[in-house]
């Protein structure tokens, strides 16, 4: 009887510990992907579809912290002048041609299989509840944790399967699921090199969940800590963003 | 020689028809009224047909619409995949091919997205139009116009830029006032989000309230800027006369094939679902009225002829005794019936014509149909087929009506008939 | 011996009158030869009208044979009987039975039209007979413009224009005053002499007797008298139009 109590107690205590462990892993993986604090990133997003010409968008993202960021569209010319502001769950867009800012969905696509949230935010630890599905699974030749992330808020994908390398906590691969359980897209984190003070993945290769010949890429062409005035992280500031 | 070479049966029938003047007059009245009613209602139906059709054509459809090939099959689900690139070229070809059959040719672009004022956002479906051309399209022959029913504010005029008209329900939902700037956001042709601010100019209503909840009209140039394209979705051809449509379409198809355009065409009739439904409905009503009229006429003639037979029983007996066969008696009365129909039908045609003339000169103004702001002048449209219809009804009803009394007459027993006083 | 135009043998005729059965003729044997001027006399209900109907082929016996102009009427269709009548019989009625919408000329002509006599022949025949009955001046009048006597003359003309083998007259003088009646009978006798057409009258007018050469009495459906009269002097024919 006592044995049972001990086991039960252990199991009950283990759950939050296990959850904590998963959270810690995801947190560490977030920090591998990008530095803490105020960061400026230059991002190039590419979309490739067999029936279309290749599309490219060049962005600059100013991250205040893991919950607040501003994205500026730099290129091509027809996109230039647009900007986005993300605070927690909310995303506003400014489009030259209209004086007002429009509230849009973070899950709305930017181009290809890349959503607005994908380029505005990297904060899986705060945006998801995580659990370890498998402590050891081989992925891309590496020994990984397989974690299951479930959405905590509107910003997020419904569910993600996330492979994070043991010891280095480098994200290796992710599968993003829709509410129906169908995979929306598959991502692999590559291009690891030294940038912004650490070895980080500079390219994310994305393949569409239904059409394997639809491919997208996110290239982090530059990353560096930089401080910004708080005033730029407001809706009213978007039109004047330089 | 009064009845020169007229067959005897016809002669006898004719004289018998006028034997009882008053009775014949009454019967003829019902035939005349019946066939005149038929003719004039056909005139009304033709008028409704013309009016509805022309309203539709002038306010929306045009006579022929030109799309990129495949647009129809896509059911309009992906408009941006079927845009037409060289619209000026195409319009020139249209102009050259049709010459003075052409009234106006114009381009349209369709968009959708979100329209916002203050904190409120609603879906919109927009038409970008060339304002002057569309105005030319909507003018009617009799000086009235089937232009847009603008209920608040003003319509668009040529030269307007950065202005927008909203469907009435949409206007109400947004609570628009003079000077309001509306923000429109949607996808451009390459999928990128685009936005533009437009000044509210007026509110309009169409036949569909559902449509008015999302309907939007803006100048074509603004639509093109919003969609980030110089292409258009449709080219609409308006002819000077609806009857030219089929021929014009054939000519255009040939011209387009010769130039190798990757386009398809559709005529107004293929698009006018509402019109077709209304015409079917009117057709049904027409059948009902026709049936009633036939019944009344038949009843009247059966009555008359039966009385006529009854009065002539002894006469019939005499003729039979003289050696006439039953079929000859049958023929006699049927000819009498048909003669009533012929006379009634002829007078009916005249009467129907006179009544139509009177109505058309009374300048009766009908209330505006749904979606229009102006009424129509009631003008019954009588075609030769209308007259033929009235006449045929008279003759056929008479024929049918005469069968029963004629058969009764033919089946009389000679002995009994002779005894009859 | 002249050929019989009429030959009845064992003829019975009954018909229903409501619920009763009326035996109009109860065994009649009768022969009438060509050219006769015969009267059938009898009170009302004696069956003389019924007998005349059988003779006229407008009715058929219940039993027995009726032979008219050599044709047995039994088992004949309506069409065949009509043809028989057309070819062989002329009728004269008590009420004249002229067609009111036709003129004198047209009424007489009608009999020829039924016989499908061509138009060219018709005019001659009609004019001749109208002359003979003394109505040339009224050729184009309608019956309602004529006196009773004149109308009966028209009837006679109509009956004779087709040169039938026999003429049946049912009470021809009943609607005429005695003087007119006598002139009608005189006319018929003249025709009988002229054309040798058999005349058979049904009547209860005793004056008719003076003109007849044979009188058949019928009573209760049976013949109970058959007298041949003495040849008489022809009365002077007067062409009187009344």
- How far apart CA C75 and CA C57 sit, in angstroms, is 12
Q: Is pLDDT of C215 > 80?
A: yes
Q: Which residues of B touch C95 (CB under 8 A)?
A: 314
Out of C53, C101, C158, whose CB is closest to B15?
C101
Chains B and A touch (3+ CB pairs under 8 A): yes
**Which residues in chain A land under pLDDT 70?**
1, 8-19, 242
Lowest-confidence region among B55-64, B131-140, B164-173, B210-219: B131-140
Q: Per-residue confidence at B327, pLDDT binned at 50, 70, 90? A: very high
Q: Which of A63, A59, A114 is nearest to A86 (CA)?
A: A63
Per the listing, tokens 């994305």 go with: A206
Q: Does B366 touch chain C (CB under 8 A)?
A: no
Q: Does A95 touch chain B (CB under 8 A)?
A: yes
- How far apart CA B192 and CA A55 sit, in angstroms, is 11
- How far apart CA A27 and CA A21 sit, in angstroms, is 10
Decide: B182 and B113 in contact? Cβ < 8 Å.
Answer: no
* Widest distance between CA atoms in chain A: 73
| Contacts of B185 by beta carbon, 8 Å cutoff, 6+ apart | A95, A98, A102, B113, B114, B115, B116, B193, B194, B195
Q: Do A79 and B192 touch (CB under 8 A)?
A: yes
CA–CA min distance C164, chain B (Å): 11
CA–CA min distance B182, chain A (Å): 9
Probe site for chain B from A48, A49, A74, A98 (most B CB atoms < 10 A) = A98
Give the model's pLDDT for residue B142: 55
Q: Which residues pair with C219 in a beta bridge?
A: C222
Three-class DSSP labels, C146-204: CCHHHHHHHHHHHHHHCCCCEEEEECCCCCCCHHHHHHHHHHHHHHHHHHCCEEEEEEC
Q: Do C53 and B315 touch (CB under 8 A)?
A: no
Q: How far is CA B263 from each of CA A91, B67, B78, B227, B312, rounded to the nearest angstrom?
A: 42, 6, 16, 21, 75
Out of C86, C95, C100, whose CB is closest to B323?
C86
Give the model's pLDDT for residue C1: 43
Q: What is the pLDDT of residues B225-234, one digit of tens each?
A: 999 899 999 9
CA–CA min distance B24, chain C (Å): 15
B residues 304-323 closer than 8 Å to C (CB) = 314-315, 317-323
Structure tokens at C192: 């009988």
Q: Which of B177, B145, B183, B142 is nearest to B162 (CA)?
A: B183
Determine the distance from the C-alpha atom of residue B396 to the mean position of all C-alpha atoms in its chain, rounded to a whole number: 27
Q: Do B193 and A99 touch (CB under 8 A)?
A: no
Q: Which of C52, C44, C4, C45 is nearest to C28 (CA)?
A: C52
Q: Per-residue confidence at C147, pLDDT binned at 50, 70, 90? A: very high
Q: Which residues pair with A218 in a beta bridge?
A: A45, A204
Mean pLDDT of chain C: 87
Q: Is pLDDT of B349 > 80?
A: yes
Give the model's pLDDT for residue C242: 44
- How far apart CA A18 and CA B249 sit, in angstroms, is 74
Give the model's pLDDT for residue B254: 93
Q: Is pLDDT of B323 > 80?
A: yes
Q: Per-residue confidence at C181, pLDDT binned at 50, 70, 90? A: confident
How many CB atoms within 10 Å of residue B384?
Answer: 7
| Contacts of B291 by beta carbon, 8 Å cutoff, 6+ apart | none
Q: Which residues of B touch A55 (CB under 8 A)?
A: 190
Q: Which residues of B touch A97 (CB under 8 A)?
A: 194-197, 225-226
Q: What share of chain C is helix, strand, coil (3-state, %, to 5)?
A: 35, 30, 35
Q: How far is CA A41 from each of CA A106, A225, B319, C58, rounded to the nearest angstrom?
A: 19, 9, 117, 122
What is the ipTM, given to two decimal places? 0.88
Give the model's pLDDT for residue B247: 94
Q: Which residues of B touch A102 (CB under 8 A)?
A: 114, 116, 183, 185, 193, 195
- How far apart CA B178 and CA B236 sit, in angstroms, is 32
Q: Is pLDDT of B368 > 50?
A: yes
Beta strands A183-195 and A171-177: pairing type? Answer: antiparallel
| pLDDT average, residue stretch C84-109 | 93
Give the model's pLDDT for residue B123: 93
Give the model's pLDDT for residue C241: 47
Beta strands C198-203 and C166-170: pairing type? Answer: parallel
Query: What would you report as the CA-atom Rg of chain C, rounded to the nearest whole angstrom?
Result: 18
Q: Is pLDDT of C119 > 50?
A: yes
Q: What is the pLDDT of residues B294-313, one digit of tens each?
A: 998 899 889 888 999 999 99
- How far apart CA B2 and CA B11 sit, in angstroms, is 10
Q: Which of B107, B339, B123, B120 is nearest to B238 (CA)?
A: B107
Q: What is the pLDDT of residues B241-262, one digit of tens each?
A: 999 999 999 999 999 999 999 9
Q: Do B116 and A95 touch (CB under 8 A)?
A: no
Chain A residue with CA closest to B117: the answer is A100
Q: Is pLDDT of B331 > 50?
A: yes
- How far apart CA B214 and CA A234 sit, in angstroms, is 32
Give the model's pLDDT for residue A107: 84
C residues 100-129 closer than 8 Å to B (CB) = 100-102, 106, 110-111, 113-115
Q: Which of B56, B66, B57, B129 is nearest to B93 (CA)?
A: B66
Q: Which residues of B touch A104 (CB under 8 A)?
A: 193
Decide: B114 and B245 in contact? Cβ < 8 Å.
Answer: no
Domain map of chain B by residue range?
6-55+275-419, 70-261
Give the model's pLDDT for residue B1: 40
| pLDDT average, residue stretch B167-195 | 89
Q: Is pLDDT of B391 > 80?
A: yes
Interhelix angle B8-17/C104-114, nearest 10 degrees: 130
Q: What is the pLDDT of residues A78-100, one digit of tens each?
A: 888 899 999 988 899 999 888 88
Probe site for chain B from C91, C97, C168, C202 (most B CB atoms < 10 A) = C97
DSSP assigned state of B35: H
Q: Do C85 and B315 touch (CB under 8 A)?
A: no
Q: Do B322 and C111 touch (CB under 8 A)?
A: yes
Mean pLDDT of chain B: 89
CA–CA min distance C89, chain B (Å): 8
Lowest-confidence region among B150-154, B368-372, C31-35: B368-372
Helix or strand or coil: residue B68? strand
C residues 161-200 closer than 8 Å to B (CB) = none
Q: Do A97 and B228 touch (CB under 8 A)?
A: no
- How far apart CA C221 and CA C203 sit, in angstroms, is 15
Decide: B213 and B177 in contact? Cβ < 8 Å.
Answer: no
Helix or strand or coil: residue B180? coil
Chain B residue with CA closest to C159: the answer is B322
Decide: B31 and B340 in contact? Cβ < 8 Å.
Answer: yes
C206/C179: higher pLDDT: C179
Helix or strand or coil: residue C21? strand
Q: How far is CA B226 from each of CA A158, B112, B113, B221, rounded to the nearest angstrom?
A: 33, 10, 10, 9
Task: Report the percent of chain B where pLDDT is more than 70.
Answer: 95
Name the neighbours of C, counting chains with at least 3 Cβ pairs within 8 A: B
| Contacts of B231 by beta carbon, 8 Å cutoff, 6+ apart | B83, B84, B85, B87, B109, B189, B224
Structure tokens at B172: 């109400």
How many CB atoms within 10 Å of residue A68?
Answer: 17
Helix or strand or coil: residue A36? coil
Lowest-confidence region among A107-116, B99-108, B125-134: A107-116
| pLDDT average, residue stretch B219-238 | 94
Q: Do A100 and B114 touch (CB under 8 A)?
A: no
Q: Is pLDDT of C58 > 60?
A: yes
Q: Do C91 and B321 touch (CB under 8 A)?
A: yes
Helix or strand or coil: residue A78? coil
Structure tokens at C219: 């009573």
- The CB-side HSE value for A40 (13 A sphere, CA atoms) comes to 8
Give the model's pLDDT for residue B136: 86
How many CB atoms within 10 Å of residue A189?
Answer: 24
- Burial environment of residue C1 by CB neighbours within 10 A (0 to 12, 13 to 18, 19 or more): exposed
Q: Which residues of chain B are at the A interface, by a Cβ-Cβ cutoff of 8 Å?
A: 114, 116, 181, 183-185, 188, 190-197, 225-226, 228
Decide: B89 and B105 in contact? Cβ < 8 Å.
Answer: no
Give the model's pLDDT for residue B13: 86
Q: DSSP letters of B198-256?
A: EEEEEEEE-S-HHHHTTEEEEEHHHHHHHHT-S-BSEEEEEES-GGGHHHHHHHHHHHH
- How far apart CA A62 and CA A126 sit, in angstroms, is 19
Task: Report the percent of chain C where pLDDT is more than 70.
Answer: 93
Q: Is pLDDT of B207 > 80?
A: no
- How far apart CA B50 and CA B52 sit, in angstroms, is 6
| pLDDT average, residue stretch C210-235 | 79
Give the model's pLDDT for residue A15: 60
Give the model's pLDDT for residue C195: 85
| pLDDT average, residue stretch B94-107 | 93
Decide: C25 and C10 in contact? Cβ < 8 Å.
Answer: no
Going through B130-205 in order, the beta strands assigned E by DSSP cover: 149-153, 163-167, 181-187, 193-205
């Amino acid at each position: 009887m006592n044995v049972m109590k001990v086991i039960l107690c252990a199991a009950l205590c283990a759950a939050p510990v296990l959850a904590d462990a998963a959270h810690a892993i995801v947190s560490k993986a977030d920090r591998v992907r990008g530095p803490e604090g105020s960061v400026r990133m230059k991002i190039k997003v590419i979309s490739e579809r067999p029936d279309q010409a290749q599309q490219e968008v060049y962005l600059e993202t100013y991250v205040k912290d893991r919950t607040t960021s501003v994205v500026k569209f730099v290129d091509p010319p027809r996109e230039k002048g647009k900007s986005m502001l993300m605070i927690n769950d909310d995303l506003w867009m400014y489009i030259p041609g209209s004086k007002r800012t429009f509230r849009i969905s973070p899950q709305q696509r930017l181009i290809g299989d890349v959503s607005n949230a994908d380029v505005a935010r990297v904060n899986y630890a705060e945006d998801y509840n995580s659990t370890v599905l498998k402590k050891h699974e081989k992925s891309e030749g590496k020994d990984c944790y397989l974690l299951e992330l479930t959405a905590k808020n509107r910003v997020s994908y419904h569910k993600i399967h996330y492979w994070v390398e043991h010891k280095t906590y480098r994200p290796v691969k992710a599968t993003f699921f829709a509410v129906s359980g169908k995979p929306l897209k598959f991502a692999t984190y590559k291009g690891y090199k030294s940038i912004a003070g650490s070895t980080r993945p500079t390219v994310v290769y994305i393949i569409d969940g239904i059409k394997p010949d639809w491919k997208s890429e996110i290239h982090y062409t530059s990353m560096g800590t930089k401080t910004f005035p708080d005033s730029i992280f407001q809706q009213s500031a978007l039109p004047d963003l330089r | 020689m009064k009845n020169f070479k007229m067959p005897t049966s016809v002669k006898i029938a004719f004289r018998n028809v006028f034997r009882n003047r008053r009775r014949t007059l009454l019967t003829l009245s019902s035939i005349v009224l019946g066939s005149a009613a038929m003719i004039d209602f056909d005139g009304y139906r033709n008028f409704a047909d013309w009016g509805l059709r022309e309203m539709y054509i002038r306010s929306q459809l045009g006579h022929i619409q030109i799309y990129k090939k495949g647009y129809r099959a896509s059911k309009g689900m992906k408009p941006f995949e079927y845009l037409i690139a060289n619209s000026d070229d195409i319009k020139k070809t249209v102009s050259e091919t049709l010459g003075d059959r052409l009234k106006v040719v114009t381009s349209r672009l369709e968009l959708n997205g979100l329209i916002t004022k203050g904190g409120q956002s609603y879906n919109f479906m927009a038409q970008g139009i060339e304002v002057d051309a569309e105005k030319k399209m909507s003018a009617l022959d009799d000086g009235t116009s089937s232009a847009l029913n603008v209920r608040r504010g003003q319509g668009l005029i040529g030269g307007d830029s950065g202005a927008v008209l909203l469907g009435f329900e949409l206007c109400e939902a947004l609570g628009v006032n003079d000077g309001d700037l509306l923000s429109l956001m949607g996808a451009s042709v390459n999928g990128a989000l685009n936005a533009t601010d437009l000044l509210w100019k007026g509110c309009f209503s169409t036949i569909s309230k559902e449509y008015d909840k999302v309907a939007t009209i803006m100048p074509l140039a603004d639509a093109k800027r919003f969609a980030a394209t110089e292409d258009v979705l449709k080219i609409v051809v308006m002819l000077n006369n609806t009857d030219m449509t089929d021929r014009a379409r054939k000519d255009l198809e040939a011209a387009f094939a010769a130039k190798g355009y990757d386009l398809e065409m559709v005529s107004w009739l293929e698009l006018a679902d509402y019109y077709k439904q209304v015409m079917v409905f009117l057709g049904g009503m027409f059948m009902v009225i026709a049936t009633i009229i036939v019944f009344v006429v038949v009843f009247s003639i059966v009555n008359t002829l039966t009385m006529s037979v009854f009065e002539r029983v002894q006469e019939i007996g005499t003729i039979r005794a003289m050696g006439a066969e039953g079929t000859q008696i049958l023929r006699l009365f049927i000819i009498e019936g048909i003669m009533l129909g012929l006379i009634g039908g002829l007078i009916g045609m005249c009467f129907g014509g006179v009544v139509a003339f009177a109505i058309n000169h009374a300048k009766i103004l009908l209330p505006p149909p749904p979606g229009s702001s102006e009424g129509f002048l009631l003008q019954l449209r009588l075609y030769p087929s209308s007259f033929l219809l009235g006449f045929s009804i008279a003759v056929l009803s008479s024929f049918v009506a005469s069968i029963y009394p004629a058969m009764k007459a033919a089946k009389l027993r000679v002995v009994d008939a002779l005894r009859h006083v | 011996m002249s050929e019989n135009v009429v030959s009845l043998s064992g003829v019975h005729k009954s018909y229903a009158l409501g619920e009763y059965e009326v035996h109009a003729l109860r065994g009649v044997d009768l022969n009438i030869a060509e050219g006769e001027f015969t009267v059938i006399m009898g009170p009302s209900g004696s069956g003389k009208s019924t007998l005349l109907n059988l003779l006229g082929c407008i009715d058929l016996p219940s039993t027995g044979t009726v032979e008219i102009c050599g044709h047995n009427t039994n088992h004949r269709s309506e069409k065949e009987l009509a043809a028989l009548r057309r070819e062989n019989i002329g009728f004269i009625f008590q009420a004249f039975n002229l067609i009111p919408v036709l003129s004198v000329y047209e009424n007489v002509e009608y009999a020829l039209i039924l016989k499908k006599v061509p138009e060219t022949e018709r005019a001659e025949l009609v004019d001749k007979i109208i002359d003979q009955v003394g109505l040339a001046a009224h050729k184009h009048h309608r019956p309602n413009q004529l006196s009773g006597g004149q109308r009966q003359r028209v009837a006679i003309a109509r009956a004779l224009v087709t040169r039938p083998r026999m003429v049946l007259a049912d009470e021809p003088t009943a609607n005429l005053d005695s003087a007119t009646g006598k002139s009608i009978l005189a006319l018929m006798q003249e025709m009988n002499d002229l054309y040798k057409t058999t005349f058979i009258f049904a009547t209860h007018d005793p004056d008719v007797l003076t003109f007849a050469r044979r009188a058949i009495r019928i009573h209760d459906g049976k013949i109970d008298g058959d007298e041949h009269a003495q040849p008489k002097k022809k009365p002077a024919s007067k062409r009187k139009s009344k």
